[in-house]
Structure 1
């Protein structure tokens, strides 16, 4: 698979941003009224809806070019969500495991994340050098840790998404644009 590209660093996202979860839940109701539910998904699919309040002409061209580069919803990319993009002090396990999967926490629900950077790893609170690949965090070469050590980490994570629907931008003033709302859907 080709290297994933990151969404351009445009910082004028509007305050109005939403996330919706989908679980592909199947519901069967028997004649007696008894209900049985199930899902075959281990993790939800998220739909992020957002827009850019103000774009310079350069940002407008960068946004429209990126949409074209990813061929609309065809090619997935990495999205650094402005609200949900980091974990601090997340407990990953013990030193006995030797490698740890990066995760995102929503309350008590935990799911893996596969694209992380700025990783800081700790054993019982003491910093360790670490490397990561596809969300798996490992000790850097030459680092050791006691098997009973509690492993925690801080990191920034990206969402793997694709566009869902069209991208529309509006010219509102001399060299000032804004985007209409657009949707990003997580992919695995």
Structure 2
């Protein structure tokens, strides 16, 4: 079986290939390295030849105190944590990332991470198809809109059903009820 996506009888969409599953699984393992008790996110940046260019998880910058109690101060955490997607990009030695795929163990990237994905020329993002908390909905819609405008392919995989789907517009995200949204919560990647 090749690493290419293949059609499954009865579905219009192809399923993710073995390499996609491998790197999504690897991103989930990398997420376990995060010390954040509420959000563990991992990311794996992959070259077109299916070799790993970089890995990252959400956490404080290298060399800073990363004691568990610091993650409980939400304002400090949101202001200081480097997201998994950013860390995967920063941990790569590659300058150009054109044609690369970024695999994320959690939700699709936030607007800040999407800007870095766009800037580096990454061509595809694969994440899990999970319900986006309402407080992050607008941020993620903007992120998706920006990535789509740049031509980045966004594929979401639902591990419960084994199906995947491509995101074609910001409203394709699965959003929780938008009741009680706190506008001060601006990011969903690792918050």
Structure in which a larger fraction of residues adopt strand: 1
Q: Say whether the fold is shared (TM-score over 0.5).
A: no
TM-score range, shorter chain: under 0.3
- TM-score, normalised to structure 1, is 0.25
Q: Which has the larger radius of gyration?
A: 1
Structure that is richer in helix per residue: 2
Higher relative contact order (CA 8 A, sep 6+): 1
